[in-house]
Structure 1
């Protein structure tokens, strides 16, 4: 199983969204990462849903099929795993995520603390000045090196 972390950052000054995604193996090595910029969103829930959808699309694009998907917006994670119909304005996006998850062999969604999602958040913030999506494969992206260091220190305690 690989661990996929995703996060979103909303840039109100430019009316854009930043998405950060990181996929790590069981040894916490970075297998793939993404920093992407998107259009304006109405609120943090929409930002989180769009970030999760892009994260799953990215994981499928680069060939991952067994994932633990982690995000720090517990409302988004709760809505994704819900079995009840969602008639809200974001219902179709949640359904997109469930359809994408159905293309994976194994998938589990988990809500985590914001502090445990620093790396994905740093990638989302990095998107502020991007003109196009940036992908790193099997390398540590420079925008998240400090967050990776902090994460590795907390893992070894």
Structure 2
């Protein structure tokens, strides 16, 4: 695989879309690497967009444990974990939550959309057109 793809969505407490992105990422080797790089990129986006309170949701238990821990991470992805922890520390409020694999449908659709992009796409206070169906399905579950 030449490149990876990243999808992220930021919603408010009512589930309304505040921001989202479909982005191109670097070549990856493992699912944990993909999840960590997506987490870092999503947090960078959230900080750049001036969000100060974030709940991070992901479906990889190892990743969620790594970024939530204060123990030094000496793995080959430790520098990415450190970047994420640093970004988290810059926020006023942050919580991590491990969700089931299917619970990240909108982000997955946005990542799939990014596979065909030549440049990153960002949406602010607007529902991302590539994920409208997934957003609608999420509303039906609320």
Q: Structure 2: any 5+ residue segments left out of the alignment?
A: none
Residue 128 of structure 1 deviates from its aligned partner by 0.5
User: Secondary structure at the residue paired with 1:31?
Assistant: strand
Residue 149 of structure 1 deviates from its aligned partner by 1.0
The reply on whether 1:110 has 2:97 as its aligned counterpart is yes
In structure 2, the partner of 1:8 is: none
Residue 73 of structure 1 deviates from its aligned partner by 1.3
In structure 1, the partner of 2:121 is: 134
In structure 2, the partner of 1:96 is: 83
Residue 153 of structure 1 deviates from its aligned partner by 0.6
The reply on whether 1:70 has 2:57 as its aligned counterpart is yes
Residue 125 of structure 1 deviates from its aligned partner by 0.7
CA deviations 1:112-150 (Å, max 9, x no partner) are 011111001100111011111100011111111111111
User: Secondary structure at the residue paired with 2:73?
Assistant: coil
Q: Distance in 2 between matches of 1:78 and 1:151?
A: 26
In structure 2, the partner of 1:39 is: 26
TM-score of the two chains, using structure 2 as the length reference: 0.97
User: Secondary structure at the residue paired with 1:57?
Assistant: helix
Residue 95 of structure 1 deviates from its aligned partner by 0.4
Q: Distance in 2 between matches of 1:101 and 1:27?
A: 22
Q: Distance in 1 between matches of 2:75 and 2:90?
A: 24
In structure 1, the partner of 2:39 is: 52
- Structure (1 or 2) with the greater strand fraction: 1
Q: Structure 1: any 5+ residue segments left out of the alignment?
A: 1-11
- Count of paired positions: 142
In structure 2, the partner of 1:27 is: 14
Residue 84 of structure 1 deviates from its aligned partner by 1.5
User: Secondary structure at the residue paired with 1:117?
Assistant: helix
RMSD: 0.8
In structure 2, the partner of 1:144 is: 131
TM-score of the two chains, using structure 1 as the length reference: 0.88
Q: Distance in 2 between matches of 1:39 and 1:87?
A: 21
Q: Distance in 1 between matches of 2:10 and 2:135?
A: 12
